[in-house]
Amino acid sequence: MLAMDHGVVEEWLSEFKTLPETAVSSYAASLKDKGSLVPALYKVIRENYSDPLLLFFINSRQNTNSKCLFLSPVSFLSLSLSLSLSLSQEIVDKDGQSKLLSFTIPSLSKPSIYHEPSSIGSLALTEGALANHGLSRVVYSGPHLQRETFTAQNRFEVLTFLLLCYNASLSYMSSSSLQSLCQLSSRVCICGYPRQQVRRYKGISSRLMVTSEFLVQLITGIHFALCNGEVELGSRALDDVLYRAQLDLFPEALLVGNAIKSSLHGAALKANKEG
């Protein structure tokens, strides 16, 4: 059974490798139409988890309905190829200019469509409040460098960014993609640690290095899965990520993970009371 899936995947990858640069994006967009391929891919990743690197293959975002999926690289070549592909599409806008992502931090001292400052009453008159008065801060990200190669140094920078893109289209992901995300998160976080025995994961048993920011992005995806049908897998994945964040002493991941756990716990309490 697995051998057959393997065949399907390899065929697809070899087809992919022969593509000219220009056809890659439409090839990626057509992925979701290949009925037998996607499940086969998931299976191969799950059963044959031999490479420590995750490949987050994200296809063209111009087509917002496209599905994203994870796969493990069969070869490093396809990995770097697809990375440069997906990154170049994410970080460059239509005119080929580097994209600058921006995010505005709302401030209560400025009127918004939901409030006016005077009705908030006594905003604490602190030094910080005065310093920020009337400012709505805009933070930017980017422009991101185009990465031609995938090195140990930029690996997590790139993966974190890819996960960020994945997270931006969470609502469009199929449930098998979300399940896959949860399972991969679990594996990445506990391989090589005593908990691997508890979970009885086979395959690689060496520890994978991760970064705190990468875990935060993983947690964001897991949170979505957890609240959208994948309760069991999601909460297990969240536990595993938190376990790893504790062992590696990552404050950021602990912070967000604890908050999610506590907010879900609070909601459960409330539901119990009301129900």
Binders in 157-196 for other proteins, by CB under 8 A: 157, 160-161, 164, 167-172, 192-194
Residue 204 makes contact with other proteins by CB under 8 A: no
Q: Residue 222 and residue 241: Cα distance in Å, rounded?
A: 10
**Could you give phi then psi for residue 196, rounded to 5 degrees?**
-60, -40
- Residue 5 C-beta: closest distance to other proteins, Å: 27
Q: Which is nearer to other proteins, 9 or 223 (CB)?
A: 223
Measure the CA dihedral 208/214/219/221, to 10°: -110
Number of amino acids touching other proteins (CB under 8 A): 80
Q: Which of residues 82-101 bind other proteins (CB under 8 A)?
A: 100-101
Contacts of 215 (CB under 8 A, 6+ apart): 189, 241, 244, 245, 250, 252, 253, 257
Please report how close the Cβ of residue 91 comes to other proteins at its closest, in angstroms.
Answer: 12
Q: Which stretch binds other proteins (CB under 8 A): 4-12, 31-39, 83-91, 141-149?
A: 141-149
Residue closer to other proteins, measured from CB, 2 or 100: 100
Minimum CB separation of residue 46 from other proteins in Å reads 23
Cα torsion through 215, 218, 220, 226, rounded to 10: -120
Contact flags string 228-267 toward other proteins, x per CB under 8 A: x-----------------xx-x-xx-xxx-xxx-xx--xx
Identity of the residue, 22 or 153, whose beta carbon is nearer to other proteins in the bound complex: 153
The smaller minimum CB distance to other proteins, of residues 19 and 170, is found at 170
Instruction: Determine if 128 is a binding residue for other proteins (CB under 8 A).
Output: yes
Q: What is the DSSP string of 183-204?
A: HHHHHHHHTTSTHHHHHT--S-
3-state secondary structure of 97: coil
Task: Rank residues 19 and 29 by Cβ distance to other proteins and give the closer one.
Answer: 29
Contact 42, 176 (CB under 8 A): yes
> Coil, strand or helix: which one is 127?
helix
In the window 36-65, what residues touch other proteins (CB under 8 A)?
Answer: 64
Residue of 102, 100, 79, 80 whose CA lies nearest to 90? 100
187 vs 223, which CB is nearer to other proteins?
223
